[in-house]
Amino acid sequence: MADFYDSAYAPMPIVGEFQDLWRYRSLLTLLVVNSLKTRYKRSFFGLAWTLFNPLIQMAVLAIAFSSIFRGALIRYPVYVLAGLICWNFFVQATTHSMNTLVWGSGLLKRIYMPRTIFVFVAVGNGLINLCLAMVPLLLIMLAMGHPLYAAWWFVPVAVFLLALFASGVALLVSILAVFFGDTVDIYQALVQALFFITPVMYPKDILPQRYAWFLELNPVHRLLELFRSPIYLGRLPDDAAILTAAAWAFGAFLLGWWAFTRKVDELAYRI
């Protein structure tokens, strides 16, 4: 019976949260759609901003760095735009989820709903932006004569793994943000630093050899390459690289899920 609640038989949050997220999937869709609507509601160009934003960022970086990386990277705008699409998705999904959880706190105190829903609203919103950002990417590729490789089939897999990883990080930082007020600031500083030590806008070979180990360990770099290689180079990363990236994605998701659901019952009075 769907409408029978017995606290003695309520499943552990780590399982129950999954079931409830599925039961509330129409709410999830609705909240994702609405988060897209509200974001640009008052602006003249509306949703088109999702297309302009990465283009503007890309243009600035291309003007600034094209000449420096000309030797290393042909058609630099394609390289940097593909990288930025991934990076922006990761940052937006994780920071946005901290904010939506706070937005939802008024509701969480009064009515039951799966508490992870706010994290997945942020990730879903990011995924739609990512898909929209593929349009300017394709346009730039066509304009610059960059070939459309067969390896593109792998892009959805890469996006899935990236989304899984981002969800894990988002769950972790969101629950931390509830309990520790300075999480938001620390996270922003960390992300800022990570941007410069991740080869988003520069070729990875320019990092000194003695930091190569760090690149190996950097999960964002791993997942980003999974996305960018098929588009930019036309080939998949080797199997080991794919497996490592997948391990990061699943590992982060499980860790985030575990941490979030472990504390989920305290949310209603700690938010």
Q: Which residues bind another protein (CB under 8 A)?
A: 1-8, 10, 24, 26-27, 30-31, 34, 37-38, 41-42, 106-113, 180-183, 186, 265-266, 268-270
Q: What is the DSSP letter of 240?
A: H
- 53 or 105: whose CB is closer to another protein? 105
- 81 or 172: whose CB is closer to another protein? 172
Give the number of other Cβ atoms within 10 Å of residue 26's Cβ. 8
Write down the least CB distance from residue 28 to another protein, Å.
9
Both tokens assigned to 85: 């699409």
- State the Cα–Cα distance between residues 135 and 2, nearest whole angstrom: 43
Give the number of other Cβ atoms within 10 Å of residue 121's Cβ. 26
Write down the least CB distance from residue 38 to another protein, Å.
4
Write down the least CB distance from residue 29 to another protein, Å.
9
- 57 or 105: whose CB is closer to another protein? 105
Write down the least CB distance from residue 205 to another protein, Å.
36
Packed helices 239-263 and 155-179: angle between N→C axes, nearest 10 degrees: 30
- 235 or 270: whose CB is closer to another protein? 270
- State the Cα–Cα distance between residues 223 and 168, nearest whole angstrom: 14
- 152 or 180: whose CB is closer to another protein? 180
Nearest to 82 by CA among 124, 125, 138, 163: 138
What's the start-to-end Cα distance of the chain, in Å? 31
Packed helices 239-263 and 219-228: angle between N→C axes, nearest 10 degrees: 130
Write down the least CB distance from residue 271 to another protein, Å.
11
- State the Cα–Cα distance between residues 21 and 27, nearest whole angstrom: 9
- 103 or 153: whose CB is closer to another protein? 103
Write down the least CB distance from residue 5 to another protein, Å.
4
CB distance 125 to 96 below 8 Å: yes
Write down the least CB distance from residue 198 to another protein, Å.
23
- 184 or 215: whose CB is closer to another protein? 184
- State the Cα–Cα distance between residues 155 and 63, nearest whole angstrom: 27
CA 257 to chain centre: 16
